Structure formats: C-alpha cells, structure tokens
Chain A
Amino acid sequence: MDFISATFIVFVVILAGVYFMAPDKVKWLVLLAGSYIFYMASSVKLLLFLLFTTAVTFVCGLALGDINDKLSAYLKEHKQELSREDKKVLKNQASRKKKYVVAAAVLINLGLLVFLKYFNFIGGNLNSLLLRLGVGRTIPTLNLLLPLGISFYTLQSIAYIVDLYRGKYQPDRNFFKFSLFMSFFPQIIQGPIARYDQLAHQLYEPHKFEYTRVTQGVQLILWGFMKKLILADRLAVAVNLIFDNSASYEGFLLFFAAAGYGLQVYADFSGGMDIARGAAQILGIKLELNFERPYFATSISDFWRRWHITLGSWMKDYVFYPLSLSKAFAKLGKRTRKVFGNYVGKKLPTFLSFFIVFLLVGVWHGSSWKYVAYGIWNGTIIVSSILLDPFYEKFLEKCHVNTKCFSWKFFQMVRTFILCSFGRFFSRAVSCMTAVDMIKRTVANPNPWVFFDGSFLELGLEYKDFYVLYIAILVLLAVGVMQEKGIHIREKIAEQNLYFRWMIYIGAVVAVLIYGNYGTGYAVGEFIYQQF
C-alpha cells in the first residue's frame, strides 16, 4: 500500500477510527492487525521474511534475557559464597554466551539481508574475477525478491539485540507485542529506524483521541504530500530525463540534475517521513525525526547529522563507537603514531571508523559499486576535512576571514550543497563509471548559456512547472529558516485566527490536488528510500 494513494488515506482513517473506539486493553492489537494488513497489502509472501526476522530477534532477545536473569539470580543466591574473582569469571562466561546469542541473531538477520540484497552483486563480481583468473565455474544469478522495508527492520532488530546485550532494557516477553514493534506500519517501509526503548512503550500504551494531536498529524501528512507530489515528483521528471540520457547533456545541466536529485531525494524521503510521522501522531505515537534541514548544513559531517538521522545514529551507536573504541583500533592507533606522528596516530581509529561507517551507509543504499563510491566520496570528504582542519583554521586566521558572520555561514552552506550534489552523481547515475563521466563533463564543459537558451524547457517540464518548483522551494526554504530559528510552524499556525488557519489548510489541500504530479501521464514515483 503506497503512502501516496487514496487507499492509504482511507486505511489510516479506518484504523484510527477502530483504534480510538477499541477498549484500551486491545488497542495495541488493533495496531498490530493494521500493521500486518498494511504490509500484506504490498505482499503476503514477503511477510514471511518479516515474521522470520521478528521470531529470530524475539527468541534471541529472550535468550539474552534468560542469561542475564540466571546470572543475576545466581549472583544473588550465592552472594556470600562467591569471591570477586568468581563473580568476574561468571560474568565473563555469561558475557561470552551473550556474545554468541548476539552473533547468532546478527548473523541470521543481517545474513538474510545481505543474501537477499547483495548475493547477486557479490556473485556477479566474483564471476568477473573468476573469469579473469580463468576459472570456468560461475556463481548463478538468483531471482531474489527484496522484502519491503527489510533494510530498515533488520537494523531495528540488530539495535534491539545489541541494546539487550548491553543491558539497556529487559527483553520483550510478548511475541505479539514485539511483532508490533517490528512491523508498525508508518515506519516499516522507509523508517525512521526506531529504537525499542523509544517506540515500544508508546505502541503498547493506549492513546485517547486528542483533537489537537490528530489535526497536527493530518497537517504533517499534508505537508508530506506537498513535498512529495509538488516538489519531488516534479523534479524527478527532469532529473530522470538527464540521468537516463546523461550522454546527451553537458556541464550545468548535469550539475542541475545532480543537485535536483539531491533536492528530490530530500523532498521525497522527508515527505515520506512526514507522512509516516503524521500517521503515527494521529494514533498518539511519536516517531523520531529523520531530517533536520540538511541543506542548512555547513559541512558534510553536519549534513550527515541532519540527514537520515536515525540511520546516522544507528551507525554511530552500533558501528562507529564499537569500532573506534575497540582494542584492535586502539592498538592500530598506537602503532601508527610511531610512523605518522601523534596527530594522525591519534585520529586514525576515528578516520577508519568514519570511513567504514560511510562505506556501510553507501552500501546500505543498494548493491552496486556506485553506492560503494558514494560511501567513499562521503567518507573521504569527512576524513579529509578532519585531517585538514588545523591547516584550514590557520589559513582562515592568516587571511583574516570573519567566520562569525552570515556570509561565511552562507558560503559554507553553498559549499556543502555543491559537495553533496557531486556525491549525488554516484547515488543516482546508472553506474559508477557513468557517474565519474558525468562529473568529468560537468567540470570540463561548463555551459552557462543553458540558463538563457531555453535548454531547461527541454527537460520534460514546462515553464509553469518551473514556477511551481521555485515557489515550492521558496516555501520549503522559508519553513526551514523558521525551524532553524526554533519556530514550531504548526504551533505558530495554531495560534492564528481560525479563518487564516483554514485558508492555509484548504489552500494546501487544493495546492496538492492541482499542482501535484499525479494522474494521467504521470506515475506517482515510488518513494526512493522504499527501494533501499
């Protein structure tokens, strides 16, 4: 079931109606049933994968809980008899057991994801290698289906297991409730990637109908529709045309496509998030923010703090810190200090961890070398910016550059936007080599006359479409500026006169209906992150 469909709106209305009318005790069951109906509307067969991951995670969670419980009980029971050393041994034994359980859960869940998502990619590359080595045997290409949302719910399940291992909370002992945590419909398809301690209790608690909350949820959904239908899908027309026929374009038009794609992905993904968060808010559930105005970022690392926040924080908690604080990386740091000096040696574990994180972020997006390159692009920029930071600081100081004024911040934002846009060549181009070729031709053949010779009107968009795009971007920008200043837009609107509020709401509905890219001649694009 697509978010952008009448079916989804009807589904949310019915589900909310049933949820609020149901007795408190069974409210969570309504959500569970709704979430499974939502998932099954897309595919019944693929539901088995979700059930499998849920079952594996649940059982492993129970196992971890049992190990903890048994250890605690034993320690409590034999408190007097056990020496400190004995306790340490027991704890180590339990820790080892827990590690096996975590490893099993991660291997099974991640293994399934890797198998389904990357088997053909890995197989294809191995085949090329085998061919070069003269080995006749090849790995077959399998016709694999990728279950909806697997990239998201797998990460969610891993976070749950690792947090249990870390003793952050107790395991869920109700399989059905846990199934709801794993399958909650607004976030199953494209996130946000939820943490058990943030989401589960909200799902299990009953929520009453609250007029203000429900209307705010509806407003958020409407905002998501605006972003997706008016901006993202309109930009997609030109972006797709250029990327699908990249050889026919040069210079600025290629950059326009890359920058446009960045904006498209933002409007598309954050629009999807708004719809997800809005639907959850109607039901009284608060989902995590996934975007904080990424195009206001002043550096690539700042950009990644604002972009796909739940993936970033997942990577930070479950990859970056475990890696950078690991004994192996600490040893590596010590050794390299001797060779490269203190600064590099000290920073190396961080650099390597960053690099690995961004490589994983890139690969998480899809099974293609272009995503590997996308990860390397981001990782390289971040690592080099940290590495060059002292020199950069000195340079600015020598040149007497005022870094406290708006113009400097604006320059940083533009610079970040350009760097991000170049990165988009990798994530959107047909292949890695095409992306490299497009970058080359963007830089080598600047053609400023395209702004004046009507080239932009040959990208599948009419001039009136560009007006709509300008206005939509301006609205997005204005909202962004207000949010940066800490203004809560929906609350601000709620303070206005009734007539003005209604004008805004009705205007927004009419704008989506008239200016949205849907209907005859258009196929409402699937959410981009839904495909990851």
Chain B
Amino acid sequence: MTKTQGLRLAVFMALLGIILNTVIGVFGLPADGGTISIKRRFGEFYNEPEDTWDCVLVGTSCVDREWVAPMAWNDYGMAVYAMNTAVQPIVFTTNLLDEVRKKQDVKVAVVDIRGIRMETLKPDEAKFRRVTDSMEPSINRWKTVKKALQYSKEYYMRDDVEDEPKELDEAAMYFSFLKYHTRWKSGLYDIDFLGTSSELKGVYEERAFDTKKVKPTEVTRDVQELNDLQKSILDEIIEYGEDEGVEILFISSPSQLSQNEQIEINTAIQYLEEKGANAINFNTQEKYNEIGIDFSEDLYDKHHLNSRGAVKFTKYFSKYLYDNYQFEDKRGREEYQEWDEAYRKYVEFYEDGWNRADK
C-alpha cells in the first residue's frame, strides 16, 4: 500500500465513520408520543455547560410534570434539572446518576420512588429503552444495558413472579440501531435529523395545560413488608449516595394514588427512614394541604400534575430545597443567562398556555 493509498483509506474510513455516526444518530429512539419530551430533556442535558447544576431529579414521568426548573431558578437561583423518563426503572437510578455526574457535579439528587412498586418493577424493554437509548454511547450506557439484561433475568427467576419471562433483544439493547434502522418504514421526523433540546430546562410541555378533575387520594398510613428486591434497590441507591458523596433525597411525588399504591410507597418511605435516609412522602393530607394541591384542577390525569399543579409543587419543594441544602444563589451570573432566558420563556409559555386552554 502506497502512502497515498493509506491516506486515502484513512480519509475514507473517517468519512464513513462520520456518516455512519450521523445515520445511527438519526435512527434512534423515535420522537413520538411520550418520548418526545424525553428526547428533548436528554438533548438539553448533553448540551448543558458542565458543572452548572446544583441538583438533579430522577424518577418516573411524574417528576417533570411536577417540577418547573426555571421557577426554582428565578426564586432561589438554584439549577435543578429533572432527568426522568416515563415509568423509569428505579433500578437504573444509580446509572442515571452516574450519567448526570459525568457532566454535572451535583451534590444532591432527588429520587422519586414511585417506581419501587412491584407493578413497576416488572422488566419491560420499552421502559428500559427510554433510558438506555436516550444515553449517548459510553461505558456507562453499556453497563446500564448489562444491568437491565441481568435484572430482567433475575426478576423472572424470583419465586413470587409468575409471569412468563419476556426475552429482551440483547444485541439490540446494546446497539439500538439494530432495532431502529427500520424506522424508515414507520416514518422519521424532522427532530430525528435536526436534534432537539428544551429551551425550558426540561419543563414538560405536551399536556401541561390539560385539566382533569380527579378524585382526591384517600390517604392511608398503612404499611406492609417490602420484599428483598425492593429493599436491595433502595439499599443500592442509599449506598451509592454514601459512596459517591451525593446527598439523596427520596420523595413520593404528589398525585392520586390507590390504597395499594400508597401502602407500597408508605412502606418504602418507612424503610428509608429506618435506614436513616431522607425521605418525604408528598402523598399525605398534610402535604397536599401545605402544597395546596387541588385534585379538581391541578392534574391532567390521575397520576400527573398539570402546569398549575407543577407551579404549586415547585414553589413548595424549591423552598424546601433552598432551606435544607446550601445551594449558592447564582442569579445574575453570565454562565447562567440561559436559565434567566428559560424563566422568561416559561412565563410566556405558562400564560399563553392557560389563556389558550381557558378559551
């Protein structure tokens, strides 16, 4: 091989690599339905300037529905971002925190524990994929997929699980292109080509102005026993916080919960408290009253707050964070101009949204 040929080959391979990387990027997690907000949120996360966040919220879909990051910024100068996904497997919490901490040196993490219920612990490829396919290729992503596969196998080997095991497509879990390359048939969106990010610092937009009158939660204080799987997951998160020097605050996001759901959540909160972890159950009558949750107008379905409810919750919870964690007030700093802009846009978004909804 001559020098020219070698050089030509190198240039060709580099070009091929760039094109393939672009193609693989386009054929990713589809940006439709519930995943569009996830794509937007993760897109923003990877674009955020490094080490600018104070705190991160992780958990299921209720997290971004209840958290208005620009408001907390405007009120207290804290940069707190929601990195949730729909029905986020709680087993991924530590992996997701690892992913966040690669870019953001957060010292506090808020973990929503709705995912600890046995019903939501059931392995599901779509739930896994919302997390793993949103992550950029990295060792952490590889580890997260490996964990998902291992978890899935172990889950179905449990004595208390009677469901037939659902096989995960292992290769496609690692290399998502294997699954998504057929998306040329179902349709691609402009967002697949152009990419996306949130201008509102991860605020949930799609159904923020819908309202559904929901029956208030019939609060119960009952508890039962957590099983070893639930305990091991919570233990892992607690240990992670201790080992990595991240203060973990467990919360149960406010929404309408059934008696059974509450019992599982109550038990988890009790377990966490026994372990000395910080935990807040927002599904008590006392908390509903303090936040001011009105089940007739603050939710868009029984599990999710609308933007009116989100504003109430954010007002309450951001004050709690400000009072209990020493986040520096960074308002007015040049590198946080985006946050100021996000607040301005959020106000517009909120007012326009409700004006339209009220009409």
Contacts and interface: CB of A to CB of B under 8 A. Distances in A.
Interface of A: 209, 211, 462, 464-465, 498, 502, 505-506, 509-510, 513-516, 518-521
Nearest to B6: A211
Contact of A514 (B1, B16, B184): B184
B278 to A, nearest CB: 41
B138 interface: no
Contacts of B171: 519
Nearest to B9: A211
A515 to B, nearest CB: 7
Contact of A519 (B19, B178, B185): B178
B15 A211 contact: no
A463 to B, nearest CB: 9
A521 B125 CA distance: 13
Interface string B9-34: 10010011001100100010000000
B15 A521 contact: no
Given A502-B12, A506-B16, A520-B172, A515 B1 contact: no
A520 B178 contact: yes
A409 to B, nearest CB: 37
Max chain A Cβ within 10 angstroms of own Cβ: one of B1, B16, B182, B184: B182
Given A510-B20, A513-B23, A519-B172, A502 B1 contact: no
A429 B16 CA distance: 42
11 contacts: A209-B1, A211-B2, A498-B8, A502-B12, A502-B15, A505-B12, A510-B20, A510-B23, A519-B178, A519-B182, A520-B178
Given A211-B5, A506-B19, A514 B12 contact: no
Contacts of A465: 185
A311 B221 CA distance: 79
B181 A514 contact: yes
Interface in B146-182: 169, 171-172, 177-179, 181-182
Given A209-B1, A502-B12, A520-B178, A515 B20 contact: no
Given A211-B9, A462-B185, A520-B178, 17 more contacts: A464-B184, A465-B185, A498-B8, A506-B16, A506-B19, A509-B16, A509-B20, A510-B20, A513-B23, A513-B181, A514-B23, A514-B27, A514-B184, A518-B178, A519-B172, A519-B178, A520-B169
A509 B184 CA distance: 16
B179 A519 contact: yes
B334 to A, nearest CB: 42
A211 B185 contact: no
Interface residues on B, range: 20 to 34
B181 A516 contact: yes
Contacts of B185: 462, 464-465
Nearest to A209: B1
A336 B20 CA distance: 68
A436 B23 CA distance: 47
Given A465-B185, A506-B19, A513 B1 contact: no
B16 A513 contact: no
A211 B8 CA distance: 11
Interface in B254-282: none
B142 to A, nearest CB: 16
A464 B184 CA distance: 9
A520 B179 contact: yes
Interface class of chain A by DSSP: helix
A519 B24 CA distance: 14
A521 B182 contact: yes
Contacts of B169: 520
B198 to A, nearest CB: 29
Nearest 4 pairs of A and B residues by beta carbon: A519-B178, A520-B179, A520-B172, A211-B5
A209 B1 CA distance: 7
Contacts of B20: 509-510, 513
A52 to B, nearest CB: 35
A519 B27 CA distance: 13
A521 B186 CA distance: 14
Contacts of B8: 498
A281 B161 CA distance: 54
Nearest to B4: A211
A506 B178 contact: no
Contacts of B27: 514
Contacts of A514: 23, 27, 181, 184
Contacts of B182: 519, 521
B172 A510 contact: no
Of A462, A502, A520, A521, most B-chain CB atoms within 10 Å: A520
A328 B184 CA distance: 63
Contacts of A513: 20, 23, 177, 181
A290 B359 CA distance: 73
Contact of B184 (A498, A505, A515, A518): A515
Nearest to B8: A498
Contacts of B172: 519-520
A209 B5 CA distance: 12
A505 B171 CA distance: 26
A510 B181 contact: no
B167 to A, nearest CB: 11
B148 to A, nearest CB: 15
Contacts of B5: 211
Contacts of A462: 185
A515 B171 CA distance: 18
A519 B2 CA distance: 38
Contacts of B2: 211
A468 to B, nearest CB: 9
A503 B247 CA distance: 53
A526 B348 CA distance: 58
Contacts of B1: 209, 211
A287 to B, nearest CB: 23
Nearest to A521: B182
Nearest to B11: A502
B12 A519 contact: no
A226 to B, nearest CB: 15
A514 B188 CA distance: 13
A518 B181 CA distance: 9
A516 B185 CA distance: 12
A520 B126 CA distance: 13
Contacts of A505: 12, 16
A520 B1 CA distance: 39
Contacts of A509: 16, 20
A131 to B, nearest CB: 41
A462 B186 CA distance: 10
